[in-house]
Amino acid sequence: MRRLGLRLVMVLTGLALLGVYLLVAAAGYQLLAVLWDQRPNTSQLVVYFVVITLVSGYLSYRLGTAGLLRELDTRELTRREVPNLHALVDRLGNEFDVGDISIHVGRLDAPNALGVGTARSGVIVLDYGLFELLSAEEVEAVIAHELAHLENRDGLLQTLGYTVVRTVGGLLFLGLLPVGLLVGGIARSLSWLRGRPPRPLGVHLARVQIAVLQVVVLLLFGLTLVLRAHSRRREYAADDRAVKATGKPLALAGALLKIERAATSGWGVLSPLYIHGDEKGLLHRLLATHPPLDERLERLAEKADRQPGSLTRR
């Protein structure tokens, strides 16, 4: 008898919760219908979205640049300290559409270099190990590669692209969360009706959020692939631009090969900037920010073969 009474209480609890969830869903639907009727026209929504994305993306890039330099604990190399290096950057800068470029050094996750900031006030960060690892011509080629990224505003474009992903993802999350809560609430009510007390409410809400987030990630996967493909194309373009400015494709190839061999595996702040992107598997290749090293070396070797006075490879 006692067991039957407990079962009845659970059924009534399940029915009550089901009614509450359905009433909340109906009220939410009515609210959304009212908001939808008062929405701006499509052109205004597009303008709002573009403006918000551009402003937030630019601010994220500028603030992120300063934050990255602080996190890497870099320091600027003055002209008095390294006049030859500054002379090299000045000479290369004349080949690119860039402004004043600062040179910083720091301890990166691997022997590497990166260009951050804008084309007019960019910063080239060099790992201390590069000066021991690379020859003078290879350092020149690496700097030219980073100047090409600054000239083409690749970092800013990638930041804007990922801002679009985050913005769309946030809108999708807000749009799908009520649906997830309704589905989760119905499942929770059915658990009571079946005589199985559900998980605590906090755990339930966390599981709903994770499920909705997984759906959002799946929906945005295609856009992420497009951004990664663009990143790989910009690496090829930066290689080409560096070769055009220096006329030394083999120097860049040698630098890339040495950096790849010296890089340690693992994950760190700059892991997406590592030269090597040769992990096996189609998914790894599609999500890589850099093209496979072998392909880059092959392209650079072909450029060297086409230079006047070069010997054709057999």
Residue ranges per domain, the chain?
2-40+155-306, 47-136
Question: What's the burial of 218, exposed, middle or buried (CB within 10 Å: 0-12/13-18/19+)?
Answer: exposed
Q: What are phi and psi of 80, to 5 degrees?
A: -65, -35
The string of DSSP letters for 57-69 reads: HHHHHHHHHHHHH
Options 3.40.50, 2.40.128, 3.30.2010, 1.10.10; CATH for 47-136 is 3.30.2010
pTM of the model: 0.72
Residue type, 98: V
Q: Report pLDDT for 41.
A: 72
Q: Report pLDDT for 177.
A: 74
Q: How far apart are CA 226 and CA 214, in angstroms?
A: 19
Contact 61, 155 (CB under 8 A): yes
Q: Report pLDDT for 287.
A: 80
Give 10-residue mean pLDDT values along the chain (314 residues): 60 66 71 69 75 79 78 88 92 90 87 86 90 92 95 87 82 75 72 69 68 78 87 94 94 93 58 50 79 93 82 44
Q: What are phi and psi of 121, to 5 degrees?
A: -145, 60
Render pLDDT for 87-121 as a digit per residue (tens, 0 to 9): 999 999 899 999 889 999 988 878 889 888 888 88
DSSP code for 104: E
Contact 97, 150 (CB under 8 A): no
3-state secondary structure at position 312: coil
